[in-house]
Amino acid sequence: MTNVQAEVKVVDLYINGEYVKSSNRETFEVKNPATQEIIARVSEATREDVDKACRAARRAFEEGPWRTMPLAERCAKIRRMAEIIIERKEEIARLEALDVGKPYPVAVEREIPRGAHNLKFFADFMEKQGGEVYPMEDEYLNYTRYEPVGVAALITPWNAPFMLTTWKLGPCLASGNTAVIKPAEMTPLSVSLLGEIAKEAGIPDGVVNIVHGFGETAGAALTTHMDVDLISFTGETTTGKTIMKSGADSLKRVSFELGGKAANIIFEDANLDKAIPVSIQAAFLNSGQVCLAGSRILVQRSIFAEFVDRFKKAASELKVGDPQDVATNMGPLVSEEHYNKVTSYLDIAKNENSVLVYGGKRPELPGYLQLGYYLEPTIYIQENPKARIAQEEIFGPIVTLIPFDTEEEALEIANDTEYGLNGVVWTDNLQRAHRISHNVRAGTIWVNCWFVRDLRAPFGGFKKSGIGREGGHHSMEFFTEAKNICVALK
Ligand SMILES: NC(=O)C1=CN([C@@H]2O[C@H](COP(=O)(O)OP(=O)(O)OC[C@H]3O[C@@H](n4cnc5c(N)ncnc54)[C@H](O)[C@@H]3O)[C@@H](O)[C@H]2O)C=CC1
Ligand SMILES: O=C(O)/C=C/C=C(\O)C(=O)O
């Protein structure tokens, strides 16, 4: 068993190429959610610190070499960041396991390499971009340039801090913008390293800045700052609403990736040998703290009993434990507050007459994990798709199984939600797969698979799951201003 915590780490702000303390020397503590031990003291950005970071980013944008640097040179530096991340992936993954409680294997095999890929992908992508050309007979020629917008605020949540921050930083930097990053207060460790990684890769000072702190203080100072031109935010839908209001006075451009409550629809002709293990992942990866989680499983009634038995057995085989242990499938929830929120749904489920199939309590764990925020993988059956556990984003290891009879009914239940981030469908009927994909109102539909990502594809949500799209040219459009140049040829 590994317990990597050795000493309490010191995490500072990264402003204009240097790690610095906050102006009033205040810090906040970060805990290991597996043990409740204090693992870090983090400099808490004041309004003045956020102002310094934004002004550094503005100067680096206006005066520095970044925006005007040849594209190939800029992209080479971003690719170098990606290489350094791969060189340091074990260290970064350990940190992600430490403050998020994410199982180390998930971090080291999946999310940190994806973080590196996020940067490399957008460096490669930007180098291949051309523009539009519109000749007007022989008299005029129009051509388009894509120029950076300015200073971007990149605000990210705690569930996949490194991966989600680099997903924004890649297109932001490759387009020639500068950035002020604000990671979630509970999980600043891995993102904090992006300062030194940027420096080592030769990114000029001021291009990447990192401020730590709470949403209402550091976050609000950032989203109202006059030097910030655009905000790329991933987090809760309610926070998105607040940020939209904060950015309104200065007309900031926004891109929002918000919550989800995906339907994972299993038809009677589905290959259950594939559907069950993938649905287990979709429900319990990162303890269900995944925006794309398949947290409502709609199962055709003719196979419902078989599905429940097999799904329950597969859930019982998940190993819940120390996130640093390579054998662990499921770690703790991220914090006491989140644990209280998630476990409040156990009572809600009971009051709604949901049938508990599996879990619903703290797992038996070794002594040193006794204070961890653990919950067993938990499965309910609920006939009523309007029940709160079938409607609200729980963001924990609680999944609701809902039986249905017909395709029409499945579609109606799938769409009966305020969210629309993604959906999943399992069927061997090609026509039905397309019909369902066209009619579920969500930004991504996975057919006979889940969480397969091609970074060229649009990614984002319908309804309350977001505004705008990220990925490929969608990210590029967000992070650039299109300029048309019209030249008289005569
Ligand atoms: N659609 C997507 O791609 C994804 C969405 N999410 C969503 O994120 C949520 C979980 O993450 P949380 O960290 O709880 O989200 P959150 O909305 O509480 O916080 C996200 C970030 O926003 C900051 N923030 C909070 N209030 C703010 C304010 N008033 N002004 C500026 N910044 C503020 C926080 O400090 C944090 O850095 C879930 O709803 C999940 O579905 C998570 C991952 C991916
Ligand atoms: O693949 C993406 O771009 C987003 C993925 C989101 C998560 O990994 C998550 O919410 O955990």
> In this predicted model, what pLDDT tens digit does every residue of 377-398 receive, in sequence order?
999 999 999 999 999 999 999 9
Listing DSSP states for 253-322 in one string gives EEEEE-----EEEE-TTS-HHHHHHHHHHHHHGGGG--TT---EEEEEGGGHHHHHHHHHHHHHT--B--
242 and 359 part of one domain? no
298 and 219 part of one domain? no
| pLDDT tens track for 328-368 | 999 999 999 999 999 999 999 999 999 999 999 999 999 99
For residue 121 and ligand 2, the question of a CB distance below 6 A is answered with: no
249 and 267 part of one domain? no
Pocket test for ligand 1, best of 44, 230, 238, 291 (most atoms within 8 A of CB): 291
Judge whether residue 5 has pLDDT over 70.
Answer: no
Looking at the domain assignment, is residue 457 inside a domain? no
Residue 448: what pLDDT? 98
Banded pLDDT at 370 (limits 50, 70, 90): very high
95 and 183 part of one domain? yes
Q: Quick one: which atom of ligand 1 is closest to the CA of 184?
A: 37
Give the pair of three-digit tokens for residue 403: 């039986």
Cα separation, 109 vs 53, in Å, equals 33
Cα separation, 48 vs 217, in Å, equals 11
Residue 4: what pLDDT? 47
Cα separation, 464 vs 457, in Å, equals 20
375 and 240 part of one domain? no
What's the structural domain count of the chain? 2
End-to-end CA distance of the chain: 76
Q: Quick one: which atom of ligand 2 is closest to the CA of 459?
A: 3
Q: Where residue 439 sits, what CATH number does that domain have?
A: 3.40.309.10
472 and 379 part of one domain? no
Pocket test for ligand 2, best of 291, 295, 446, 465 (most atoms within 8 A of CB): 291
What is the number of the ligand closest to the CA of 421?
1
Looking at the domain assignment, is residue 388 inside a domain? yes
For residues 71 and 79, the answer to whether their CB atoms sit within 8 Å is no
Return the DSSP state at 369.
G
* Annotation marks residue 90 as catalytic: no
What is the number of the ligand closest to the CA of 224?
1
Residue 144: what pLDDT? 97
Residue 1: what pLDDT? 37
Pocket test for ligand 2, best of 100, 163, 255, 421 (most atoms within 8 A of CB): 163
Looking at the domain assignment, is residue 456 inside a domain? no
347 and 253 part of one domain? no
Cα separation, 16 vs 23, in Å, equals 15
What is the number of the ligand closest to the CA of 455?
2
Residue 116: what pLDDT? 99
Per the residue annotation, which of 257, 376, 393, 470 is the catalytic one?
257
Give the pair of three-digit tokens for residue 151: 């200073």
Q: What is the pTM of this model?
A: 0.97
Closest Cα to atom 4 of ligand 2: 164
325 and 376 part of one domain? yes
Strand order in the sheet with 38-43: 9-11, 38-43, 27-31
248 and 316 part of one domain? no
291 and 409 part of one domain? yes
198 and 280 part of one domain? no
SS3 label, residue 100: helix
Looking at the domain assignment, is residue 112 inside a domain? yes
Q: Quick one: which atom of ligand 1 is closest to the CA of 158?
A: 13
Q: How much is the average pLDDT of 436-464?
A: 98
288 and 358 part of one domain? yes
Task: Please provide the average confidence, as pLDDT, over all residues in the chain.
Answer: 97
For residue 39 and ligand 1, the question of a CB distance below 6 A is answered with: no
Banded pLDDT at 6 (limits 50, 70, 90): low
Closest Cα to atom 9 of ligand 2: 290
Give the up-direction half-sphere exposure of residue 112: CA atoms within 13 A in the CB hemisphere.
Answer: 27
Cα separation, 185 vs 121, in Å, equals 28
- Ligand 1 centroid to residue 396 C-alpha, Å: 15
Q: Where residue 145 sits, what CATH number does that domain have?
A: 3.40.605.10
Which residues contact residue 324 at a Cβ distance below 8 angstroms, ignoring those fewer than 6 apart? 1, 2, 3, 4, 34, 94, 97, 98, 104
- Ligand 2 centroid to residue 350 C-alpha, Å: 30
Banded pLDDT at 174 (limits 50, 70, 90): very high
In which domain, by residue range, is 472 found? Answer: 9-258+465-486
Looking at the domain assignment, is residue 144 inside a domain? yes
Which ipTM did the prediction report?
0.95
Percent pLDDT > 70 in the chain is 99
Closest Cα to atom 7 of ligand 2: 290
What is the number of the ligand closest to the CA of 395?
1
Looking at the domain assignment, is residue 452 inside a domain? no
- Ligand 2 centroid to residue 354 C-alpha, Å: 29
Judge whether residue 218 has pLDDT over 50.
Answer: yes
For residue 167 and ligand 1, the question of a CB distance below 6 A is answered with: no
Looking at the domain assignment, is residue 453 inside a domain? no
| Residue 484 CB neighbour total at 10 angstroms | 11
Q: How much is the average pLDDT of 181-203?
A: 98
Looking at the domain assignment, is residue 1 inside a domain? no
Residue 7: what pLDDT? 86
